[in-house]
Structure 1
Amino acid sequence: MKLKGLVWFFAITLILISIYQLSFTLVVNSYEAKMKQKAEKIVKMSHPGITGDEKDNLVARQLVRILDSTKDAKIYPVFGTTYLKCKENELNLGLDLQGGMNVTLNVDLEGVIKSLSNNPKDPQLLNALNAANAQKAKSDLDYIALFGQVFKQQNPSANLASLFAGAGKSVKITDSDQQVLDQLETISKSAINQTYKILSNRVDQFGVAQTSTNLEENKGIITVELPGVQDATRVRKLLQASAHLQFWEVYNIGEISKNIEDADKALAQYLNGTKPDSTKSINDTTANKTDSSKLAANDHPLANVIHFIGPQQDKTGKQQYYAQIANVDEKDTAKVNEYLNLDVVKNNFPANLKFLYGLEEKDEKSGHRYFELYAIKTLPGTDKAKLEGEGVEDASADYDEHGRPAIKMQMTPTGTRTWAKMTADNVNRPIAIVLDDVVYSAPNVIGAIDGGNSEISGNFSVQEAQDLANILKIGKIDAPAKIVSEQIVGPTLGKEAVQGGAKAFAISFLVIFILMLIYYNTAGWVANIALILNLLFTIGVLSALGASLTAAGIAGLVLTIGMAVDTNVIIFERIKEELVRGKNYQQAVHDGYRRSLAPVIDAHVTTFLTAAILFYFGLGPVKGFATTQMLGISLSLFCGILLSRLVTDVWMSKKRHFEYFTTFSKKIFKHANFKFIEYRKYAYMLSVVVLILGVSSFFNGFKQGVEFKGGRSYTVEFSQDVKNDDVRNSLRDAFEGDYPEIKTVGDNRHLNITTSYKIGEENADSAVLTRLYQGLKSKLPPTLTYQQFAKNNIQGSQVVQPVISKDLRNGAIKATIFALIAIILYIFIRFRDWRYSMGTIISLLHDVFVALAVFSFFKNIVPFPLEIDQHFIAAILTVIGFSMNDTVIVFDRIREYSRHMKGADKPTIINRAVNDTLSRTIMTSVTVFLTLLILFIFGGEVTRGFAFAMLIGVITGTYSSIFVASPILVDFAKDRPLGEADHATEKLKKADAAKLAKAK
């Protein structure tokens, strides 16, 4: 093999990178376990005898504080790496493995349109918006375009400009309807992006690690992942709140310096005081004293963590004050918050003072991160500022008279009056511009502003000026994000998913490892080494990319185990053929690898295409599966072809060779000579039956998962076995006649309950959960309260609104269609014969129809749920890829034999090709089938439907590649020889070679 040195280099580099990357996970897990023990000791000392949820809550809070305060502690001595850096590099676990909440939000563009209109109560506007809202679940148009279409249908002679002229100075009365819609699109995208930034900042307030916020701008969809979050109600409230823009007056350091000294002194005395009163509730406002009582005593605890900024002198010697009073290191924010919320500290400051942080700052030289701290002057008895966001008419990024980036701001008539008074009262003082309790800027007032037009200048970059202008705009535009889908996974379900996935992974690995040795003798060690490295590289690269490992991702790893050995199976089977023909080991190995290259690449490309399409159209966990599969497939080529060949060459260089036969494998398919083509008419008859059943399945119907039909789904734990029918009847009355779907999860103590009750209604989560509790009350312990039920018995939940379920359905259909088209085109380009594409499409449709028929006609028969959801689509696309894997191997051999078996008829060539690849086909199918069967048995409920669909697909894919795809080549274009395109290519090559020789 050429380039051995390069292969060695990449192999060793990948091994080192993977081990290095995964080492962070081990270090972080070890460190967090130690810190949890430390937190438990602190809680035990400060609250002796406390148990249950109260103890868990205190330990969790204490652990967060400890970890937050030790972000910069070097916990990895080998590399001198901090906890924060290690945490960033560890392998992330998805929500379905560690518990938490996944929320999909849709930015409410109805509010944007109303905010931009001249009259939000205009009947024409409201009628058009109501109609657009009614149609958006069924329409493929974006909301702005749909609104424009509906408005024109309702008001043929009216112009949109009459509704929006002058709004934000961006629409003119002479603008056409399309120009108005373009302006609305531009502003709405700005609103979507700003809402995304606001949500990203809000997410940080939940105090959980490894949060993720992603934006799909074209759809206005924002996805938020919050691992480990507990308070779902708080998440919903905070994420769906409108942006709150306010203008506040501030205290400077000189005005509160005495207060700071008194607070610092009082805090020092408090920390040196006696133990807290054990009779107080942990939810008391002074509960934080518990966490602080252990701290080392010092004279200036407040000044140690808050770096106060004193006044500066200008050129005339006059004192000047900064807008902020202090800087706080990122690692100290948790401790500062704790101190500032203590009564002994708050009582020493004015009643109308509240502390707010600015945006995170970073020292470019040192990389040091910190936050500016502001002392805001509030209005007594209210959360309202003197000037709120609705006082801003428009804002835009511009340049000041010196050519520096600045912000131009115009107030509404009411805002102009308030702004004039506020600026007059604060000449030579700053005014803080605050969005969602975060200070974005605090410009100094040079003089009173009477006309409502203001300029905010400073050391802004162009991007910072644009961002601040958008923030000022968003204060007027009402663009809250509404939750359209959410999934909550309790820690118990997450733990079960980890255990089930790990068990399936371990058993699959062991079974395939042993099978390779049994079937391929000592050569099986080559396949196993490639398999081990493939898995190591896949997990290592996933960690390096910052991807999250989900339950579906573990399913992808399990499937990778089955498919990773396929490369070696193809190669080994070819080597065995070469050995049977009498070649020596060295020549057989060389020819086996060379002749296997094309079919291996073809098989991997087709499988990769389906995974890539699934990744593009999928959401949430399914993307994790697709990511894992694409990585596994790519690395399988490197490990299966290059590393396997490298190991084989190293072994053979020592005058030794691997054995590829065992007593068992010699007898399997020896001299196979089955007449597959002669039985094709029976296969066609069976395929017609499959076609009829597949079409009939659409009339018989399917059970759609909550993702595709919308609804609420709850996984409920009972203290004893319950009957599904009894639960269904009880809930029918509670849900006002809506029949819920009941599925058993593992055993009869755990049920998954899905209902469409109140779906589409806003803020109905609590009402539905209350109804669920009432309906199940007779099956629950008499003393169990609603709060206990919601916290302890609901192990997981999912909510999908119709607006997002439509997108998921459309995405699934598009993914399947695109996958079929992509593979057909690839096959046509690869084989340059339309019959190969015809055979491919018929065999793939055959496989899809079988899966659809089984999921339709067996949905009420099998003891586990058969639902059409994202996991089913993932299975269908994977089946398409797997089936193509088999089909391409057979097609490649048919094309090869068509070149060498000149004079033989088509049935003879195809029968020979199918028989010679039969061992590989069956071996690959067996390995994948075994891994899927293990996943089906041990993998848990999340992946059971997926595994079942794949099991069907493996069987039908193997069947269709032999009995459907191959016979098509005989019965279509009977007068045209197989591989004609290849013969033509060979003639051209010979002609070119002859010309070249003649020229020489």
Structure 2
Amino acid sequence: MRNRGGILTLVAIFLAVSVYYLVRTYKANSIRNDAEAAAMTADGNVDRQAKQRYLDSLWKQPVFLGTTLEDLTKQELGLGLDLQGGMHVILEVSPNDIVQSLASGSRDPRVAQAITSASEKAIKSSDHFVDLFVGDFKALAPNVPLARVFSTASNRGELGLNSTDSEVTNYVKDEVDGAFDRAFNIIQTRVDKFGVSNANLQRLSGTNRIQVELPGIDNPQRVRKLLSGAAKLEFCEVYEPQEIGTSLEAFSGYLAQLDLEEQTKNLGDLANSKPSVASTDTSSTDGDLASQLGGTDNAGLGADSLLSGNTFSSLFIGGQGGLMVRTKDSSRVNEILHRPVVRQLFPADLSFVYDVKAFMNETTNEELVNLYMVKDMGHAPLEGDVISNARQDYDPTTGQPDVSMQMNATGSRKWRELTAANVGQRVAILLDNYVYSAPNVNQEITGGNSSISGNFTLEEASDLANVLKAGKLPAPTHIIEEAVVGASVGESAVRAGVISSLAGLLAVLIFVLVYYNKAGWIANLALIVNLILLLGVMASFGATLTLPGIAGMVLSIGMAVDANVLIYERIKEELDEGKPFATAVRNGFRFAMPSIIDSNVTTLITGIILFIFGTGLVLGFATTLLIGIFTSLFCAIFISRLVFEYYIKKGKTVTFFTAWTEKMFKDTDIDFVNKRKIFYMISGAIIIAGAVSIGIRGFGLGVDFKGGRTYVAKFENSVKTEDVRQAMENAGFTAEVKTFGGFDQVKITTAYEIDNTDPNVELQIQEQINDVVESVDGNVGEVVSSSKVGPTIANDTIWNSLKAILYSLILTFIYIYVRFRSVAFSFGAVVAVFHDVLVILGIFSIFNGILPFSLDVDQAFVGAILTLMGYSMNDTVVVFDRVREYLNDKSKAKEDIVKVINNALNSTLSRTAVTGIATLLVLLILLIFGGETIRGFIFAMFLGVIVGTYSSLYIAAPIVVDAMQRQLMKEKDAGLKAAEVALTAKK
């Protein structure tokens, strides 16, 4: 093996990095556990505020090898919502509201008609909403220029009455897309300030949607209001310290009193615990807040300007906004400022508001944030609806970035009054109760055009312009999909995931040992290293581990056996030919490599398609599967090879079988091909039966595909689904009720009010469902999780699923054609895959409602279908590789194609069986222990492995035979015709 030292070094580096990131994950979880223990109350509950204060205190502090807790949480193997509870939400920025607002100056009723029509079409179309609107409006009013609808005084600089339809369309598109960008930034700020650890926020590419995941959330209604509310932009006057000096002195005295009480309490505790205590001077405090402020500018903070210690007075520091606090102390500060006694010390119209951005004090290495004192927040003299435009610009005198802002007539008048009353003072610009800027007013501003300057970076100026524009258009976000998972459900999912993972891994390790004897230990070593690398890579990417991800991880371990099996079976063949051990090992690795590469590339294609088109459960599975493909390849090729080279160097050999596996699958001579018509008929009968069932019974479509709300309810005792359905009907719901993971648990699905976007509707329906399940014939129940999928998402899911399957087939067909240079092989593989999909669809239709778990056709099912397509293709490609090898062998190439393919199938039968058994073992354990959430998904996979193995033996290869024989017949006929033509010409 060339460059053995370099490969050893590479393996050591990869392992070290993986272990490092796994230890980081362990440390982050350990700190969270410590926080929970520290916040435990006497009654055994966790004080969430105390827990958050504990974490805040360490957020910017080095906690592991110089790494802060904040950095640890950015690169750790986090738990998904299904493993710890929380809320998943997909938001859509409503483009019809934006177009409606832009066209508000038009009185043409056809505008509203076109908006309504475009909204209905948008549910089933992937076209831009503006294009749909323009098409519908032009159909209603072909001779009306768009400029007449959208040109107003506020956009005079960008549009005019002479603007072309194309220019107007582009302008409206820019406004709609810009509104989405602003909404994303606003939602991101809201989520960042929400105080949730490991919150995940991302744009869904190609759409105007935002996905938000909030682990540990236990108040879904608060989240709905937080995420779907329109942005609130306000211009407020700022209280300067000198204006409220008396209030600040009183507040400083109150803090000193708290310090004194705390010190007295601590002294008392010490006195009770020790016989004698030295006297302590408690008459002084750590500083005087009013003197700190004193109207001075504290823009540059020195070390002596920060109060040390853990006293109440030390929480507040003089700063630009009037006060500053350390971000780690923000929870304690909020609690103090909301005390009634503190509120009475300040004017009734004063509100404490944080700056949206914190900054680092380089002297003390602490993160600080300004705390402003503003007037009339909530009843501001000026709000965002008066902004007509805002853009990032440059100061003509200094060349520094600034922001230009234009207001409408009403805003211009109010702005003139506000600036006239505050010359020399500050006006704070607030969005969602956070200060984005607090510029000084230099003079009264007339005309409504203003320039906001400051020490802005280009990015900060652009952000402020976006904030100002956020108040220009009503662009509320609507929740079109959500899922709430209870903490108890997450705990049971963790148990199910851990049990299934360990049991699945153990089953595979034992099976490999039993089958391959000493060589099995080498394969198992590679599998364990593969698991460490897989988890380490996921942690380094900051990936989230979900229950489907665990399934993907365990399945990738099962499929990782395949590479080892391919290598081992080739080594065994070389040893059977009498070759020395060292030669057999090197030839085995060399001959197995094409099959390993081809089989993994076909699985990789499927994984990429799943990753691109999947969300939620499917995306978690795809992420793990993709990483697992690369780590398993690395381990099979390098780890196993290094161990074998070690044995070769020591002059030792390795056994590849036990007493009872030595003769297994050896010298088999099964006639797979000549009986192909029998199996064609068997497959045809199953497919026809499935088609009849689909035509009569249809499918149990999941919420992913039809839209609606789903609630999982758990009861104290066993409950009949009919009783729950009747109770739902009595409450006014038309619902589908199924047993879910046990006879004491049901899944309730309803489409009631699914089109209603009012966030309050969710709470009302939730309360009604809770009332129903609280008691069904005296059986007490509770809702443990819920989800909602709007019709737009459902339609998109259907199209994405169809596209995923189609693209997977096309890419695989192309890859196989490129590799094997024959349409016959591509045709055989694709027909076999179609066969597998049709069989699984038929079985799901036939047994839906019969088996004791959900067989809904949903996005998870599509993920399973795509995965089994990859598995089936993997199996088929291994056979095809052996066929190609025989066809390239001059001693075998002259044999009949039937014999060649039969020989190939028999020679790869041991690999097919061993890989299939290992994978089925894992899936069987996942099916039993993996939890109800993924049971239907795993069942489809389990069937898929059986059907995929069957089709690669009895469908794919025989079809290649038929295709090649037809091709040979055509070539023969063409040759005969050519001979006849030549003979005729000769005569």
The normalised TM-score by structure 2 is 0.90
Contact 2:705/2:797 (CA < 8 Å) preserved in 1?
yes
Q: Give 1:986's aligned residue.
A: none
**Per-residue CA distance 1:812-833 (angstroms, 9 max, x = gap):** 1111111111111110111111
Which residue is equivalent to 1:942?
933
1:497 to 1:305, Cα distance in 2 relative to 1, 3 A? farther
Mapped partners of 1:131, 1:749: distance in 2: 46
Once the two structures are aligned, what percentage of the paired residues are identical?
40
Q: Distance in 2 between matches of 1:67 and 1:120?
A: 53
Q: Which amino acid aligns with 1:530?
A: A
Between 1:64-73 and 1:806-815, the stretch displaced more is: 64-73
Give a deviation string over 1:587-645, Cα, whole Å, max 9, x none: 11011000000100100011011011100001123211101000000111100111110
Describe the superposition over 1:685-733 as per-residue Cα deviations: whole angstroms up to 9, x where unpaired. 2233344345445524111111111111111121222111111122123
The aligned amino acid for 1:486 is E
Name the structure 2 match of 1:819.
808
1:189 is displaced (CA, Å) by 1.2
> For residue 839 of structure 2, what is the aligned residue in structure 1?
850
Match of 1:983 in 2: none
Given the alignment of the two structures, is residue 717 of structure 1 paired with residue 704 of structure 2, yes or no? no
Gaps of 5+ in 1: 45-50, 277-295, 315-320, 981-1000
Give the letter aligned to residue 703 of structure 1. Answer: G
Which amino acid in structure 2 is aligned with residue 450 of structure 1?
T
Deviations 1:910-966 (A, max 9, x none): 111100000000110110011001000100011101110011110111111111111
**What is residue 134 of structure 1 aligned with on the other side?**
120
Pair 1:493 & 2:481 matched = no
* TM alignment of 1:564-575, pairs within 5 A: 564-575=560-571
Q: 1:305 to 1:804 in 2, by over 3 A?
A: farther
Please say if residues 715 and 795 of structure 1, whose CA atoms lie closer than 8 Å, have aligned partners that are also in contact: yes
* Equivalent pair of 2:106/2:150 in contact (CA under 8 Å): no
Q: Any conservation in 2 of the 1:254–1:311 contact (CA below 8 Å)? A: no
Structure-1 separation of matches of 2:742 and 2:292: 57
Q: Is the 8 A contact 2:354 2:369 kept in 1?
A: yes
For the residues of structure 1 that align with 2:732 and 2:882, how far apart are their CA atoms?
60
Aligned position for 2:981: none
Relative to 1, partners in 2 of residues 1:776 and 1:98: Cα closer, same or farther, differing over 3 Å?
A: closer
Instruction: Tell me if the contact between 1:250 and 1:323 (Cα under 8 Å) persists in the aligned partners.
Output: no
Distance 2:290 2:330 in 1: 8
The answer (yes or no) to whether the contact 2:693–2:845 under 8 Å persists in 1 is: yes
Q: Does the CA contact (< 8 Å) of 2:196 and 2:215 recur in 1? A: yes
2:852 to 832, 840, 863: 863
Query: Do the aligned partners of 2:84 and 2:215 also contact (CA within 8 Å) in 1?
Result: yes
Aligned AA (1:955): I
Does residue 400 (structure 1) correspond to residue 388 (structure 2)? The answer is no
Does structure 2 conserve the Cα–Cα contact (< 8 Å) formed by 1:503 and 1:938?
yes
Instruction: Give the distance between the partners of 2:182 and 2:771, measured in 1 at CA.
Output: 41
| Equivalent of 2:323 in 323, 326, 329 | 326
Quote the Cα distance in structure 2 between the aligned partners of 1:881 and 1:361: 49
Letter of the 2:628 counterpart: G
Asked whether the equivalents of residues 694 and 850 of structure 1 are also in contact (C-alpha less than 8 Å), the reply is yes
Could you tell me how far apart the structure 1 residues matched to 2:446 and 2:488 are?
61
Q: Which amino acid aligns with 1:372?
A: N
Alignment match, 2:724: 727
* Pair 1:95-2:81 in alignment: yes
Shift of 1:344: 2.6
2:238 equivalent to 1:250: yes
CA 1:87 to 1:778, structure 2 compared with 1: closer, same or farther past 3 Å? closer
1:692 aligns with 2:688: yes
Write the distance in 2 (CA, Å) between the matches of 1:274 and 1:429: 38
Task: Give the Å deviation of 1:301.
Answer: 7.4
Distance change in 2, residues 1:164/1:301 (3 Å): farther
Pick from 772, 776, 780 the counterpart of residue 775 of structure 1: 772
Q: Tell me which amino acid in the other structure corresponds to 1:195.
A: A
In structure 2, the residue matched to 1:989 is: none
SS of the residue aligned with 1:372? strand
Shift in alpha-carbon separation, 1:822–1:308, aligned structure 2, 3 A: farther
User: Given the alignment, which residue of 155, 172, 175 partners 1:168?
Assistant: 155
Q: CA RMSD in A?
A: 2.4
Corresponding residue pairs, total: 927
Distance 1:417 1:165 in 2: 23
CA contact (8 A) 1:189 1:217 kept: no
8 Å contact from structure 1 (residues 116, 168) kept in 2: no
Opposite residue 539 of structure 2, the aligned amino acid is: S
Q: Alignment partner of 1:667: what SS?
A: coil
How many Å apart are 1:504 and its aligned residue? 0.7
**Structure 1 residue aligned with 2:379:** 384
Note if 1:603 corresponds to 2:591.
no
CA distance in 1, matches of 2:671, 2:577: 22
* Match runs of 1:301-700 below 5 Å: 310-312=295-297, 324-363=321-360, 368-378=366-376, 383-402=378-397, 403-693=399-689, 695-696=691-692, 698-700=694-696
1:931 and 1:272 map into 2 onto residues whose CA distance is: 64
Please give the alpha-carbon distance, in whole angstroms, between the structure 2 residues aligned to 1:301 and 1:228.
38
Task: Verify the 8 A CA contact 2:147 2:168 in the aligned structure 1.
Answer: yes
Asked if the contact 1:531/1:564 (under 8 Å) is kept, the reply is: yes
Could you tell me whether the CA contact under 8 Å between 1:252 and 1:375 is conserved in 2?
Answer: yes
On the 8 A contact 1:97/1:495 being kept in 2, the answer is yes
CA distance in 1, matches of 2:498, 2:422: 63
Give the secondary-structure state (helix, strand or coil) at the position aligned to 2:579: coil
In structure 1, C-alpha distance between the alignment counterparts of 2:287 and 2:100, rounded to whole Å: 47
Whole-angstrom distance in 1 between the partners of 2:420 and 2:289: 37
In structure 2, runs of 5+ residues without a counterpart are: 265-280, 300-317, 972-987
CA distance in 2 between counterparts of 1:274 and 1:595 reads 77
Deviation digits for residues 414-456 of structure 1, max 9, x if unmatched? 1110001011111111111111111111111111111111111
Q: What is the distance in 2 between the residues matched to 1:207 and 1:523?
A: 52
Quote the offset at 1:462 in angstroms: 2.3
Q: Distance in 1 between matches of 2:489 and 2:102?
A: 46
Q: Aligned match of 1:804 in 786, 790, 793? A: 793
| Counterpart residue identity of residue 472, structure 2 | K
- One-letter code of the match for 2:26? L
TM-score (normalizing by structure 1): 0.89
| Cα distance in 2, alignment partners of residues 134 and 778 from structure 1 | 39
Cα deviation 1:117-166 (Å, max 9, x = unaligned):
24276522222112222222122322222111221222222222111013
Pick closer, same or farther for the CA change 1:304–1:872 going to 2, 3 Å.
Answer: farther
Q: CA deviation at 1:174?
A: 1.9
Query: Would the alpha carbon gap of residues 746 and 82 (structure 1) be closer, same or farther in structure 2, given more than 3 Å must change?
Result: same
1:626-668 CA-to-partner distances (Å, cap 9, x unmatched) read 0100000011110011111011101221111211121121121
Report if aligned partners of 1:95, 1:227 keep a CA contact under 8 Å in 2: yes
Structure 1 341/518 Cα, relative in aligned 2: closer, same or farther at 3 Å? same
Verify the 8 A CA contact 1:245 1:436 in the aligned structure 2: yes
Structure 1 residues 910-929: aligned runs within 5 Å? 910-929=901-920
After superposition, the C-alpha distances for 1:200-230 in whole angstroms (9 at most, x for unaligned) are 1111233220001111253111011100011
1:185 offset after TM fit, Å? 1.1
- Name the CA distance, whole Å, in 2 between partners of 1:977 and 1:359: 74
Aligned-pair CA distance for 1:355: 0.9
Write the distance in 1 (CA, Å) between the matches of 2:936 and 2:563: 27
Alpha-carbon distance in structure 1 between the residues aligned to 2:463 and 2:288: 33
Specify the SS of the correspondent of 1:129.
helix
The correspondence for 1:762, drawn from 757, 763, 770, is 757
Q: Which residue of 2 aligns with 1:181?
A: 169
One-letter amino acid matched to 1:747: G
Provide the residue aligned with 2:195 in structure 1.
207
8 Å CA contact 1:429–1:444 kept in 2: the answer is: yes
Contact preservation (8 Å) 1:555, 1:625: yes
Cα distance between partner residues in 2 of 1:361 and 1:204: 12
